[in-house]
Amino acid sequence: MYSRTADKVFDTIVYAVVIIAVLVCIIPFLHVIALSLSSNEAVVAQKVSILPIGFNLEAYSRIIKDATMIRSLLLTILITVLFTLLGMFLTVCCAYPLNKKRLKGRKFMSMICIFTLFFSGGIIPNYILINNLKLLNSIWSLILPLAFSAYNMIIIKNFFANIPESLEESAYLDGCTDVGILVRIVLPLSAPALATIALFFAVGRWNTFQDALFYITKPDLYPLQLKLNLIVSASASTESLGESVGAAQLVPEVLKAACVMFATLPIVIVYPWLQKYFVSGVMIGAVKG
Amino acid sequence: MNPLGTSSDLVRGKPKALKANGFLYYLKRDFFLYLMFFIPLCFIFLFYYVPMYGLTIAFKDYDVIRGYMESPWIGFDAFKEVFKSPDFLKVLRNTLVLNFLDLLFGFPAPIILAIFLNEIRVKWFKRVSQTILYLPHFLSWVIIAGIMYQLFSPNTGLVNILIRSLGGQTIPFLTEKWHWLFTYVGIGVWQTAGWGTIIYLAAITGINSELYEAAVVDGAGRLRKIWNITLPGIRSTIIVMLIISLGRIMGSSFDRPYAIGNPIVREVADVIATFVYRVGIQSLRYNTATAIGLFQSGVGLILVLITDFIAIKVGEKGIV
């Protein structure tokens, strides 16, 4: 006979733990948002916790008026879009043939792709390559090298594998070419998976700054995360902030907080919709086929 | 060209012009597919395999001026130098320590959280919680570092303000070696725990509900059900995830230690990736840095193969 009280206690613990976890996840975020929207005095007086005090958009207007920040933002958007388009193209060009069982050499071709997940040249050989290709300080150094992702390719390949062969066969019998089948049958049916992978590419590119750090040394080509890293890690000397966002009368914390929010804004805006796709993407990927 | 073969093929056998199962036959039949594959293949070759060949720099005394071909072969000298260097050993130690701590604290967290989430009956609460819990996963490490430095700042950070108001003393979360270690791991858990629950929750829903019903009949309470049914039920998922994590013990991400680290804590925060960056790209000691990179990639590969082997032995499907 189990005890009802034990059950209730257990339930309370469960809810408590989950609530704490949720709070821990979101409070840091809310705090920074609040800081970015607060007035100098409130921040200096350490009164700001999760709600803004002395609400004002000063920091944001400062950022928007800063040409280098806007330039960085537009550049990052351009890079992300190009990267995603190229990535999707390469993914489909790779996944579609590899899905055809009748293709000779398929296993070998798959191995070539999958091996890239296990072993890589590392930082230096990649750097030397980019250097030799004269791509240092070019946005293409951020678009080309990582455009092919074996991980994403496998997910799409598995998805293609779930499309019944009979559909394709009947299209052949109707005289459709390989291209036609791809464009008219396979792609439309895979739209959700493709959308998910496109998001994987886009978010991945938006958030990664390691390659930008290595390959881009000219300040006007800094993508957003790199620029943000400099602003955040600069030992809060007002001069370095002042340089980039005009005569700084704003307390560094407020400005920094606003910069942080600025760099993550697109992600946050589309977040609820975004996470739905990502979760389903993980599911598709988790099905080992 | 009909890939299924024309009916005349079936009846009379292949025309003499093309060898029956020769390479050319397949090339002609599936030309478009091979062409399609060729495009990503170029990218793969250029950006993945060419740098792999570049790993041979580790064995040469690479001189940028003389170029690759003219640089003399030095065999394992660079490696010997690397392994004797106390700097490298320190960095290796840091990498292993950080990964191990991540594993110790970061591995159980999503499992426990997933089990708890599964126990929640109120659907809207569960959904909202999950949405919020996934958020940290979408933030770049730069953003996270920005947020955390703000939060844990010794004087103005919210956490320390709270601690002081409760009568405690300021804690140097990110500005002192040992505190930094645990803050680093904590931040790691913060970023991954919520997202990690996805896999485990999916595994939990795969458990046969009849097992639970039988347990209730036998008088099992909630805890007992979890211990005897849920955990064993997701055992294989846990093992696979554990094996994958162990296989990555030598790996180091760059973004995270770079963004969260700072010069004060360099002694514990410098990992292989950040070290290679400083030594290689900033100081241009290419062959040393490449040797380290090769070491790391090599060990990583061996670990992946070993752990995959173990996974198969334990009964799971391997990745390779």
Yes or no, beta carbons of B220 and A21 under 8 Å apart: no
Q: Residue ranges per domain, chain B?
A: 7-59, 82-314
Which segment of A79-93, A111-125, A170-184, A241-255 scores lowest on mean pLDDT? A241-255
Residue A240, C-beta contacts closer than 8 angstroms, at least 6 positions apart: A230, A231, A234
pLDDT at B251 over 90: no
Considering chain A, what is the average pLDDT of its residues? Answer: 83
Q: How confident is the model at residue A240 (pLDDT cuts 50, 70, 90)?
A: very low
Yes or no, beta carbons of B120 and A15 under 8 Å apart: yes
| pLDDT digit string, tens, across residues A163-186 | 888 888 888 888 888 778 888 888
Please check whether residue A53 touches B, CB under 8 A.
no
B interface mutation test: which of A29, A124, A211, A275 has the most B CBs within 10 A?
Answer: A124
| pLDDT digit string, tens, across residues A189-213 | 888 888 888 988 999 999 988 899 9
Nearest Cα to B153, choosing from A252, A96, A258?
A252
How far apart are alpha carbons A135 and A84 in whole angstroms? 19
B66 or B1, which is more confident?
B66
| pLDDT digit string, tens, across residues A57-104 | 888 888 888 888 899 999 999 999 999 999 999 999 999 999 888 888
Question: What residues in B contact A213, CB-CB < 8 Å?
Answer: 258, 277
Q: How confident is the model at residue A145 (pLDDT cuts 50, 70, 90)?
A: very high
Q: How far is B308 from chain A (nearest CA, A)?
A: 11
How far apart are alpha carbons A267 and B143 in whole angstroms? 11
pLDDT at B8 over 60: no
The minimal CB distance from A97 to the residues B33, B47, B116 is found for: B33
Yes or no, beta carbons of A282 and B199 under 8 Å apart: yes
Nearest Cα to B190, choosing from B109, B94, B96?
B109
What's residue B116's pLDDT?
92
Q: How far is B205 from chain A (nearest CA, A)?
A: 13
Yes or no, beta carbons of A119 and B300 under 8 Å apart: yes
- The phi-psi region of residue B315 (left if phi > 0; otherwise alpha if psi is between -120 and 50; otherwise beta) is left
The DSSP secondary-structure symbol of B72 reads P
Question: CB contacts < 8 Å between A and B, how many?
Answer: 274
Per-residue pLDDT averaged across A3-18, rounded? 85
What's residue B3's pLDDT?
55
Using CA atoms of B134, B136, B141, B147 in order, give the dihedral in degrees to the nearest 10: 170
What is the gyration radius of the CA atoms in chain A, in angstroms?
24
Q: How confident is the model at residue A251 (pLDDT cuts 50, 70, 90)?
A: low
| pLDDT digit string, tens, across residues B197-235 | 988 888 888 888 888 888 888 887 788 888 888 888 888
The DSSP secondary-structure symbol of B2 reads -
Residue of chain B whose Cα is closest to the Cα of A203: B138
Yes or no, beta carbons of A120 and B262 under 8 Å apart: no
pLDDT at A4 over 90: no
Q: How far is A60 from chain B (nearest CA, A)?
A: 16
Yes or no, beta carbons of B43 and A148 under 8 Å apart: yes
Q: Which of these CATH numbers, 3.40.309.10, 1.10.3720.10, 3.30.390.10, 3.90.950.10, describes A58-289?
A: 1.10.3720.10
Cβ atoms of B68 and B57 within 8 Å: the answer is: yes
Per-residue pLDDT averaged across B50-65, rounded? 77
Q: How far is A61 from chain B (nearest CA, A)?
A: 20
B146 or A6, which is more confident?
B146
Per-residue pLDDT averaged across B169-195, rounded? 89
What's residue A21's pLDDT?
94
What's residue B316's pLDDT?
61
| pLDDT digit string, tens, across residues B254-294 | 889 998 888 888 888 888 888 888 887 777 777 788 888 88
The CATH homologous superfamily for domain B82-314 is: MetI-like (1.10.3720.10)
Q: How confident is the model at residue B104 (pLDDT cuts 50, 70, 90)?
A: very high
How far apart are alpha carbons B266 and B246 in whole angstroms? 25
Which segment of A103-117, A206-220, B88-102, B281-295 scores lowest on mean pLDDT? B281-295
Backbone angles phi, psi at A246, to 5 degrees: 80, 175
Yes or no, beta carbons of B286 and A272 under 8 Å apart: no
What's residue A57's pLDDT?
86
Nearest Cα to B148, choosing from B133, B131, B160, B163?
B160
Please check whether residue A154 touches B, CB under 8 A.
no
Question: What residues in A contact B3, CB-CB < 8 Å?
Answer: 102, 172, 178
A244 or A157, which is more confident?
A157
The minimal CB distance from A104 to the residues B26, B53, B259 is found for: B26
Per-residue pLDDT averaged across B82-98, rounded? 88
Q: How confident is the model at residue B67 (pLDDT cuts 50, 70, 90)?
A: low
Residue of chain A whose Cα is closest to the Cα of B320: A114
What's residue B2's pLDDT?
53
Yes or no, beta carbons of A123 and B289 under 8 Å apart: yes
How far apart are alpha carbons B183 and B172 in whole angstroms? 10
A interface mutation test: which of B30, B37, B258 has the most A CBs within 10 A?
Answer: B37
Per-residue 3-state assignment (H helix, E strand, C coil) for A124-163 = HHHHHHHHHCCCCCCCHHHHCCCCCCHHHHHHHHHHHHCC
Name the percent of chain A lying above pLDDT 70: 91
Pick from A27-36, A278-287, B61-70, B156-165 the range whose average pLDDT is largest.
A27-36
What's residue B319's pLDDT?
52
What's residue B30's pLDDT?
83
Per-residue pLDDT averaged across B28-41, rounded? 89
Yes or no, beta carbons of A29 and B198 under 8 Å apart: no
Nearest Cα to B319, choosing from A151, A105, A282?
A151
How far apart are alpha carbons A205 and A211 in whole angstroms? 10
Yes or no, beta carbons of B143 and A263 under 8 Å apart: yes
- Residues 71 through 90 of chain A touching chain B, CB cutoff 8 Å: 89-90
Which segment of B29-33, B58-62, B277-281 scores lowest on mean pLDDT? B58-62
H-assigned helices in B47-122:
50-54, 67-70, 77-84, 86-106, 108-119
Yes or no, beta carbons of A25 and B219 under 8 Å apart: no
How far apart are alpha carbons B213 and B210 in whole angstroms? 5
What's residue B114's pLDDT?
92
What's residue B117's pLDDT?
92
pLDDT at A144 over 90: yes
3-class DSSP state of A219:
helix
pLDDT at A237 over 50: no
What's residue A147's pLDDT?
93
At B61, list the tokens.
């005394």
Q: Residue ranges per domain, chain A?
A: 1-56, 58-289
Q: How confident is the model at residue B184 (pLDDT cuts 50, 70, 90)?
A: very high
- Residues 215 through 254 of chain A touching chain B, CB cutoff 8 Å: 225-226, 228-229, 232-233, 253
Distances (CA, A) of A54 to A43, A49, A262, B162: 9, 12, 20, 21
How far apart are alpha carbons B161 and A199 in whole angstroms? 39
Q: How far is B95 from chain A (nearest CA, A)?
A: 16
In the block, residue with structure tokens 């293609």: A160
pLDDT at A252 over 90: no
B21 or B98, which is more confident?
B98
Q: How far is CA A140 from the centre of its chain?
A: 18
The answer to pTM > 0.95 is no
Q: How far is B228 from chain A (nearest CA, A)?
A: 15
pLDDT at A43 over 90: no
Q: How far is B204 from chain A (nearest CA, A)?
A: 13
